[in-house]
A and B are shown apart, each in its own frame.
Chain A
Amino acid sequence: MEARDIRLIEVKEGILAESQVLAGKLRERLRGTGTFMLNLMSSPGSGKTSLVLRTIDALRNELRLGVIEADIASTVDSEKVAARGVKVVQLKTGGFCHLDAAMVSEGLDAVGPQDLDLIIIENVGNLVCPAEFDTGAARNAMILSIPEGDDKPLKYPLMFSVCDVLVLNKMDALGVFDFDLRAVEQRVRVLNPAIRILPASCKTGEGIDAWIGWLRGEVRAFRNG
C-alpha cells in the first residue's frame, strides 16, 4: 500500500463528552428535587461502607437519606445499609470498575430523589477509573486509610485532584504503620490546594463529627444556593 492512498479523517472527539453531558443533566434533575448527591470513592477495604453507616447514624433524624451502592458482584454492602432502615439501591456493575452517569441515572430512578435530601453514592472500590467519570454528584469525597500508605497521592494523582474532601480513615491504626501525615497532606495539596483533609476513625468515632459537620454544611449550602 502506498502512502498516497492514506487519507486523514479529522475526528476531534473526546471520549468522556457523552458522559459529561449526562452528568450535567443529572445535576439539573437533582437541583430540581433539592437533593444533594455525594460521590464517595476509595480503594477496596478503606472504609466506605463504615463511613456510610456512621453518616446514616448521625444524620438520619435530620435528613431523608438514600444510598446508591455499586459493587462488581455482591450485595453485602447494601444489606448492611438496608438493615439501618435507609432507602438503598444496589447496582451490580458486572465487572465494570466504576460508575458512570448512565448507571447513576438508573440508580436515581430506583431510589427516588424527590423524597430525599441526601443521596450517597458508594462507588466501586478503585482509585483509578471512578476518578475519570463524572457521576453527576454535587461533591466528590474520598477515603484514604492509614494502612494503604502515604504514597497514594503520587500513584493516583487524578483521584486526589477531583475530590472536594479527603477522609483519612483508620487513624486508630496510625501507630502501627509508617504513615507520614504531613507528607500525605503536602502531596495532596500539590494536586488540589482547596481540598479539605479530615483525619478520622470509623472504628473509634474520632473525627466523625468533623466529617458530619462538613457534609451538613455542604447540604445546607446546596439548598440555599
Chain B
Amino acid sequence: MHELPIVKSMFDICMRHATANSVKKIIAVNLKVGEVSDLQDEWIQRYFDFLARGTIVEGARLKIERVPLVVRCQKCSESFAVDIRQGKTVECPKCQATEFAYVSGREYTVDSLEVV
C-alpha cells in the first residue's frame, strides 16, 4: 500500500508526457530513485505494471538508477556520499565536522521515456 501513491505520481508524469508527445507506446522509463527511499525496485515495477494495465504504458520496463545520499559539510563545504546503513557517526572526511546540509538521495525523478 505504501508504494502506490508514489508510483501513481510517477505513472501520471509518464502518461502526461506521453500524451503531449503523441506517443504510441512507452517501452521503458528511466527513473532516478534516492537511496534513502524505502521502496524496493521489484515492488515499484509491480505497482507500475498494475497501474499501466490497458494503457500505452503497459509493458514498459522501469530502469531504476539509485542516487546515493550526498551531503555537504556546513563548515568546509565538502560534498561527499554517505552510507546510511553503516551505523557509525558520520563526519566530514576533510575537516571531521558533524553538521551537514542535504544535497541528494531522497528524490523520485522521471528522467526520460523511451518511446515509439
Contact = CB atoms under 8 A, between A and B. Distances in A.
Interface in A1-52: 1, 5-16
Contacts of B106: 132, 158
Contact of B99 (A12, A13, A187, A194): A194
B74 to A, nearest CB: 10
Contacts of A16: 9, 107-108
A59 to B, nearest CB: 31
A190 B85 CA distance: 9
A126 B2 contact: yes
Contacts of A9: 17-18, 21, 23, 112-113, 115
B111 interface: yes
B83 to A, nearest CB: 10
B95 interface: no
Nearest to A95: B1
Interface residues of B, number: 37
Interface string B86-116: 1111100000001110000011111111111
A197 to B, nearest CB: 14
Contacts of B5: 96-98, 100, 129
A191 B106 CA distance: 13
Q: Give the one of A1, A98, A158 with max B CB within 10 A.
A: A158
B77 interface: no
B20 to A, nearest CB: 9
Interface in A94-123: 95-98, 100
Which of B9, B37, B88, B99 has the most A CB atoms < 10 Å from its CB? B9
Interface string A186-224: 110111011000000000000000000000000000000
A11 B86 CA distance: 34
* Interface SS, A side: mixed
Interface string A168-191: 000000000000000000110111
B70 interface: no
A7 B89 contact: no
Interface residues of A, number: 34
A13 B38 contact: no
Contacts of A13: 13, 17, 109-110
Contacts of A147: none
Contacts of B85: 154, 157
Nearest to B12: A15
B27 interface: yes
A189 B89 contact: yes
Nearest to A93: B5
A190 B88 contact: yes
B21 to A, nearest CB: 5
A194 B101 CA distance: 11
19 contacts: A7-B116, A11-B14, A12-B109, A12-B110, A14-B109, A14-B110, A95-B1, A97-B2, A97-B5, A98-B5, A100-B5, A132-B106, A157-B84, A157-B85, A158-B36, A186-B87, A187-B87, A189-B89, A193-B100
